[in-house]
Amino acid sequence: MQKVNIILVGFGRVGRAFYELLKEKYDYCRERYGLFLELRGIIRKSGAVLLSGTRKMVSEAEAGKEKSELSGWVQTFSLVDLLEEFKSGVLVDCTPSDLNTGEPGFSLMKTALSSGWHVVTASKGALVVHPSELAAEARQHQVALKASGATAAALPTLDVGLHSLAGAEILAIEGILNGTTNYILTRMSEGLSFSRALMEASEKGIAEPNPVQDIEGWDTAAKMIIIANRVLGTEIKLSEARVNGINGLTEEIMAKAARLGKTIKLIGRCSRETPEAPWKVEVGLALLNPDHPLAAVDGSNKGIIFYTDCMGYIVLAGGKSDPRGAAAALIKDIISIYWRDF
Ligand SMILES: NC(=O)c1ccc[n+]([C@@H]2O[C@H](COP(=O)([O-])OP(=O)(O)OC[C@H]3O[C@@H](n4cnc5c(N)ncnc54)[C@H](OP(=O)(O)O)[C@@H]3O)[C@@H](O)[C@H]2O)c1
């Protein structure tokens, strides 16, 4: 049995979903993995709270008298205070993804890693802008830096590329990595206009309040770059990727694709022309034949294909595109840091 201290940064849609799922999974993680996942504090832009641990929160919720520790947001303690108070554990980063600066995630993650804390993140910015600095910091302090929540969340991507395919040479990676755009394309193929489909995605909570990065393809590019840099050991920058989104797509183009018996998908791809050539990341609309493994990935589902030299091609599809799915990916990463199944 092991006690794991957790500090959560960011208490928006994903942070709240993580908080709720952690309470829901507390007993299961204790019984199945021998881990007491104890939430010690939450930090957001507008303040922070110190908590008495998930176990206490679960017991109070079960007794119908959930203590409102969450009402006591104060500005008086910082991340450094919490890291020092609890000595070791995991920082869970659910702050916004700024693909230009990598902040606030970069500073938060660097502080935690350099204090000997593991980091599990849902935000992409820091991993796209400063991947090598963060990896070096984690290596130096012998702690984990895990990013399932930032790389298609509930759809396993990094775990498969890094561990399940170990020993195989990956020749190319291709994926539908953004649930919002895949939902819009699916609804457009059923006859909706772009604006109606986007409105529906927002109403269902699939699209973020500002979905520009999704629509323009930058979210897909960021995820593919994080996956490629981790799995293939590349150092691709976002500015080097060729990125086109789904903006400009009309009902007429969708209808034409349907008449040809094809499906239109937003595909992110990392490939190289020869084994000596540099790896390239591209994002754009693709006309897929019905037998393409990603053609049937519909709605807010996502999918990824790893093409390998000795394991054939591996296809994964599904994975909930919502804050709860992202929260589940964060918990999975925490478990995989501490649980050894030998
Ligand atoms: N939404 C999804 O389904 C999904 C799925 C996978 C990954 N992600 C990623 O997960 C991250 C969080 O997404 P979200 O939808 O939860 O965002 P959100 O609702 O906008 O919440 C962001 C949170 O971060 C806090 N924050 C902002 N700047 C901060 C700082 N400097 N220090 C500490 N806290 C700060 C905010 O504080 P206040 O509350 O005080 O404003 C807020 O609580 C993003 O990077 C997103 O790309 C989202």
**Is 281 found in the same domain as 229?**
yes
Are 307 and 191 members of one domain? yes
Check whether 251 has a pLDDT greater than 80: yes
Same domain, 49 and 82: yes
120 CA → ligand 1 middle, Å: 14
CATH number at residue 290: 3.30.360.10
> How many other β-carbons are positioned within 10 Å of the β-carbon of residue 136?
12
* Residue of minimum CA distance from atom 7 in ligand 1: 122
Would you say the CB of residue 43 lies under 6 angstroms from ligand 1? yes
Q: What pLDDT was estimated at residue 59? A: 78
Contact 249, 285 (CB under 8 A): yes
pLDDT, tens digit, 9 for 90 and up, residues 106-121: 999 999 999 999 999 9
Higher pLDDT, 340 or 145: 145
Q: How close is the Cα of 93 to the center of ligand 1, in Å?
A: 8
Do 308 and 260 fall within a single domain? Answer: yes
Residue whose Cα lies nearest atom 15 of ligand 1: it is 13
Chain segment 193-210, per-residue pLDDT in tens? 999 999 999 998 888 888
- 175 and 271 within one domain: yes
Report the range of poorest mean pLDDT among 45-59, 152-166, 172-186, 311-325: 45-59
Q: Which of 44, 81, 177, 220 to mutate to test the pocket of ligand 1 (most atoms within 8 A of CB)?
A: 44
pLDDT of res. 234: 95
Give the mean model confidence (pLDDT) for residues 206-229.
Answer: 95
Q: Does 112 lie in the same domain as 250? A: no
> How far is the centre of ligand 1, averaged over its atoms, from the C-alpha of 147 (Å)?
15
Ligand 1 pocket member 326 (CB < 6 A): yes
Domain that holds residue 284: 158-319
Does the structure show a pLDDT above 80 at 167? Answer: yes
Residues 332 and 285 in one domain: no
Based on the fold, state whether residues 315 and 328 are members of the same structural domain: no
Read off the pTM. 0.95
Q: What percent of the chain has pLDDT over 90?
A: 85
What is the pLDDT at residue 224? 98
Residue 68 has pLDDT above 80, yes or no: no
Tell whether ligand 1 has an atom less than 6 A from the beta carbon of residue 303.
no
Q: Where are the alpha helices (DSSP H) in the chain?
A: 13-33, 54-62, 79-86, 105-114, 125-129, 131-141, 158-159, 179-189, 194-203, 212-215, 218-231, 251-259, 323-338
Res. 9: pLDDT tops 80:
yes
Same domain? For 188 and 312 the reply is: yes
Ligand 1 geometric centre to CA of 208 (Å): 11
Question: Tens digit of pLDDT for each residue in 78-87?
Answer: 899 999 999 9
Confidence of residue 96 (pLDDT cuts 50, 70, 90): very high
What is the tally of structural domains in the chain? 2
Residue located nearest, by CA, to atom 28 of ligand 1: 45
Residue 23 scores a pLDDT above 80: yes
Q: What is the CATH number of the domain that holds 94?
A: 3.40.50.720
**Whether residue 269 is found in the same domain as residue 178:** yes
- For residues 202 and 122, state if they share a domain: no
Other CB atoms within a 10 A radius of the CB of residue 233 amount to 8
User: Do 302 and 330 share a structural domain?
Assistant: no
Nearest-Å Rg of the Cα atoms of the chain is 21
237 is catalytic: no
Element (H, E) at 284: strand 280-288
